Amino acid sequence: MNTRAIEQFLKVVELRSVSRAATVLGQSQPALSRALRQLEADIGTELLYRDGRGVRLTDQGERFARWAAEFVDQIDQMRRDLDGEAGGRLRGATIGLLPALSRQLAVPLTRALRDLYPDALLRIVEGSCGHLVEWLADGRLDIAIVFDKPPLRRLNPEPVATQFLHLVGAKSLGKLGSTIPFRELADRPLILSSRPLGNRGELEGIAQRLGIELDVVMEVDSLDSLLKLLEAGEGWSILPAKALQEEIAHYRLQAAELIEPRMDRTLVLVLPVNRVPMPGAAALVRAIKSEIQRIYAVEGRRPRDTGIGWADRAQPMQRGAE
C-alpha cells in the first residue's frame, strides 16, 4: 500500500467514477483500475463496487475512506512542514527535458506538480543533454532529467529508472521479431546522432568488440527529422522505444529490443552544483522522482532480469542500483 494509491482511491470516491478520476489524474482507466485492485489486495478487502451510475463504497470502503482522508491530510502537513524546514515553499522552477523524454513526461509531470504546487510557476525546456547541463550551470535550469553518461558523474546524478534500447525502423523494411542480436546491425543502414550526442560512442565500442562495422548512412540530431526519415524507410536507428511508443505508432514504425548485448540507458535527475538550493528544491526532487516512478509502475514495468516484450522494458530504480 502506498500514498499514491490511497490518493487515487480518494479521487475515485470524490468523483464516483473510475473513468472521470483517471482523466483528472492524467492516467489511463485500466492503469487506475489495476492500482485500485492492488490497493484492495494489500488491504485484504473489497472497497468499491460498480453500479449503473459509477462506483460506490462498500461498508469497509466507507471506513477506509475516512481513515485515508485523515492519512492524506497528515502527509500533506508533513510535506508542508518539511518544505518550510528546507527554506520555504516552492515558488517556481524550470525543468529541462530531453526531447524524447518530454514527449512521455511533460504532461504527467506538469499535472502532478500543479497539484502539489498550485501557486508555483513551472517551466519545461527541451534540449540536448549537453545543452541542459550547460543551462544548469549558468542558472537557466533548476533541474534536468536526462540519460546518464560518464561526464555527468561529477554532478552526482540521481538514478530514477532504466529504459532499454531498440532497433527502430519502418515496417516496409521487413518484419522484426521482439528482439534482435546486436551483431545483425552490420547488415542494416543506420541513421544515428552525431558522435558527441546520444549513444553513438557506446554503439561503436560494442561493434568494435564484436568485430563488426556499423553502416552509418546519415547523421541526424533532430528527433523529429529522424522519425520522418525512419517513416520514409531511409534506414534504421537505435532509440529508447518505450519513451517514444506514441511516435512509433504514429509513424507506423516497429521496434525490436537489442540483445547480445542488451543496451540500457539510466534516467537521472541532475541538480546544479555550487549553487544554493532554491526554496523547496528537496520537495521538488521527491515529487518528480515519485511521479516518474509512478508512470513506470502503472504501466506494468517489471525488473530487467525478466523476459518481457519491448512495450514493458523499463522499470523504477532505487538510488545506487546498478
User: If you ran DSSP here, which 8-state letter would residue 306 be given?
Assistant: S
pTM of the model as a whole: 0.55
d(CA 45, CA 40): 6
- For the chain, domains (ranges, CATH) are 3-85 (1.10.10.10), 92-162+266-316 (3.40.190.10), 166-262 (3.40.190.10)
Q: Can you say whether the dihedral through the CA atoms of 14, 18, 287, 100 is positive or negative?
A: negative
pLDDT, residue 26, reads 57
Cell 489486495 belongs to 41
The total number of residues shown for the chain amounts to 322
pLDDT, residue 234, reads 96
d(CA 133, CA 239): 21
Cα dist. 296→50, 113, 149, 175 in Å?
A: 27, 17, 21, 28
Please write the tens of the pLDDT for every residue from 10-33: 888 888 888 878 766 656 788 888
C-alpha cell at 247: 511516435
Residue 64 φ/ψ, nearest 5 degrees: -65, -40
pLDDT, residue 138, reads 81
Cell 518530454 belongs to 102
3-state DSSP call for residue 3? helix
Over its length of 322 residues, how does the chain's per-residue pLDDT go in tens digits? 678 888 889 888 888 888 878 766 656 788 888 889 889 988 889 999 877 677 889 999 999 999 988 888 787 667 656 655 445 567 788 899 888 778 778 888 888 888 877 888 888 898 888 888 888 888 888 899 888 876 777 777 888 877 789 999 999 999 999 999 999 999 899 999 876 556 778 888 999 999 999 999 999 888 889 999 999 999 999 998 877 788 888 899 999 999 999 888 888 888 887 776 676 777 788 888 878 877 765 443 333 322 222 233 333 333 333 2
